Every structure is written in structure tokens, then in C-alpha cells.
Amino acid sequence: MLRPNLRAERVWDVDPKMLRARGIRGLVLDLDNTIVDWNRWEVRDQVKQWAQEARRAGVRCCITSNTRGVDRIKAVADQMGAQWLANAGKPRRRACLRAMELMGTAPSETAVIGDQIFTDVLGGNRLGLVTILVGALSRADFPGTKIARVLERLLGRWLSEKGW
């Protein structure tokens, strides 16, 4: 449940054409440290270009965040041409189910991209979605996330020792 299907350094390293060739039509995207630096409103140019490539490939995007900051998530989604959900409650299945409903996709054609194992990867894996773990965009983080990252590093070492 905690092991991603794929890994990439950054979200823009994930090839939308490859995803579409695998049958993926929708992406559930994490907000903080996946598509924007933590607590920021500005979307990097690389992410905007990547979102355009995804649209051209026929892949829809829905930003799904546990943040309650509706104005910020909407502003980021507008910059990317994406749908959005705030206060999603990840890793509960409801978050991904609501995103799939907005995008009109089924589990077999949906992937999750995020920077955290215990929210993004776990949430996607609970529904059998393709999960893609990316590196965090910045070192700044929500205090609770900093604690989770320590546990993720320990888990990562253990998984590496097991050959996963």
C-alpha cells in the first residue's frame, strides 16, 4: 500500500504521452511541493508547460489537496487549466473518488501524482490507481509533513534493503 508504481524526480519528468499510452485519462495531482512550492500561489513555468502537454495528450488534471485554502488552490488550478478539490481528506478514498467523478474517469484510467507516501501514494493505492511519487519541490513544509518525511525516509531505506 505504501509502494508507488512509478517514481520521478519532478512532476514535469512524468511523460503525459506515456501515461495516455498506458490508458491514463486523468491525473489526481497533489498541490504543495508537487505542483507548487509549499504554501505558494505561483505555478512554475515547467509545471504550466507540463499541464499543457497533458491536455494535448488527452489527460485531464484535478488538483486534490488537504488544504482548506480554497482561494489558493483555485488560483493554482486556474493557472494550470485544471479542476480542483480542497479539504480532500487524503489518504481517504473519498478524495480520489471525488476527483475521478470531476474528471469523468474510472480507477483503471486514473493516476495519482504526489510527493508524499502516506497521503498521495497510500490514497491512490487504496483504490488500485497508478501511483507516481515525485520529489518535493522545496524543503519548506507543513510541520506535520516534516515529521511524515522522516518516516518516509526510514520506509524508503527499508524498502531499498528489501529490493523494492
Q: Could you give the domains of the chain?
A: 6-161 (3.40.50.1000)
* Tens digit of each residue's pLDDT (9 = 90 or more) over 23-40: 999 999 999 999 999 889
pLDDT value of residue 144:
64
pLDDT value of residue 135:
92
When pLDDT is cut at 50, 70 and 90, the band that residue 156 belongs to is confident
**What angle, rounded to 10 degrees, do the helices at 70-80 and 45-56 form?**
60
SS3 state of residue 136: coil
Q: Which residues share a beta bridge with 26?
A: 60, 110
Query: Is the backbone peptide bond immediately before 107 cis, with ω within 30 degrees of 0?
Result: no
Q: What pTM does this model have? A: 0.87
